[in-house]
Amino acid sequence: MQDARDPRTESPPNRSKPRSRRLPREVRERQILDAAVQVFARHGYHEAAMDEISEVAEISKPMIYAYLGSKEELFVACIRREANRLIESISGAVDADLPPDEQLWRGLRAFFEYAQQNRASWTVLHRQASTQGPPFAAELSAWRRRALDLVTTLLSRADGTEEDRQVRHEQMQPFAAALVGAGESMVDWWIEHPEHTADALSMRLMNLVWMGFGDMVQGRRWKPD
């Protein structure tokens, strides 16, 4: 809980390599967000210090405030960006023309792969964002809704009337929530058992939610085509 940054032992006043200046705003913002996600993931919202973010981003604190506002706003910006990336990642992997089980399978795989390759991003979304109380509730709700929608869509057939689909969509929601939660939880477990591959994890979850234990205990398994 103690970080070893001691201002007294820091670099001498005349810094030899002056921080590069006059970068376009977009680049700066990305630098900042990258650093923020990293630091928020490492320490959690509260323990994360603006000082550390500014160091990691190699941008001075006043610039951070100028570009992205308060710490709270910065965190919201992180959540929003990372949520988009994840959603796009999964959306890009599925294909509306495939049968539901195939879609689900692809979605799951995309999810596990994303979590593996963007651990910090995922940590911020899953662990940090959900624990910081009211200030981020709105942002979180939005992200959850999108995630549920996506999963619900994956789970629903595309046929039937519009009304039919609407109803099914509603009914699917708790299942979708369960699926998302199961995925999150498996990723957590994965972190402590990294010897498994993303494929293996996806397969297990697929079996759980597609076949169910009832089938599994009798030896039936789901397999990709």
Partner DNA sequence: GATGAATGAGGCTTCATTCAT
Partner DNA sequence: TATGAATGAAGCCTCATTCAT
Return the exposure string of 156-192: e unless at least 16 CB atoms fall within 10 Å of the residue's CB, then b. Answer: beeeeeeeebeeebeebeeebeebbeebbebbeebee
**80 near a copy of itself (CB under 8 A):** no
Between CA 8 and CA 71 the distance in angstroms is 25
**Residue at token pair 């705003």:** 25
Within 28-87, the residues that bind DNA by CB under 7 A are 28, 47-51, 59-63, 65-66, 70-72
The separation between CA 96 and the C-alpha centre of its own chain, rounded to angstroms, equals 23
42 binds a copy of itself (CB under 8 A): yes
With CB cut-offs between 5 and 8 Å by kind, which of a copy of itself, DNA, none does residue 181 bind? a copy of itself
183 belongs to the binding site for a copy of itself (CB under 8 A):
yes
Which residue, 51 or 88, has its beta carbon nearer to DNA?
51
Q: In the complex, what is the shortest distance from the CB of residue 9 to DNA, in angstroms, rounded to a whole number?
A: 13
Check residue 217 for interaction with a copy of itself (CB under 8 A): yes
135, amino acid identity: P
Task: Pick one of 8, 12, 24, 96: the residue that binds DNA (CB under 7 A).
Answer: 24
Q: Considering the rule CB under 7 A, would residue 25 count as an interface residue with DNA?
A: yes
**Closer by beta carbon to a copy of itself, 135 or else 224:** 135
Task: Supply the minimum distance, in Å, between the C-beta of residue 56 and DNA.
Answer: 13
Q: Which is nearer to a copy of itself, 88 or 215 (CB)?
A: 215
Residues 153, 147: Cα–Cα separation, whole Å? 10
Give the burial class of 121: count Cβ atoms within 10 A of its Cβ; 0-12 exposed, 13-18 middle, 19 or more buried: buried
Number of residues this chain uses to bind a copy of itself (CB under 8 A) = 61
Q: Which listed residue (8, 17, 21, 193) binds DNA by CB under 7 A?
A: 21
Residues near 26 by beta carbon (within 8 Å), at least 6 away in sequence: none
**Which phi and psi (to 5°) does residue 62 adopt?**
-55, -35
Residue closer to a copy of itself by CB (options 42, 85) is 42
- DSSP assignment of 22-42, as one string? ---HHHHHHHHHHHHHHHHHH
Kindly list the residues in this chain that would bind a copy of itself in the complex (CB under 8 A). Answer: 1, 6-8, 13, 25, 42-47, 66-69, 100-101, 104, 127-128, 130-135, 155, 157, 173-175, 177-186, 188-190, 193, 196, 201, 204-205, 207-215, 217, 222
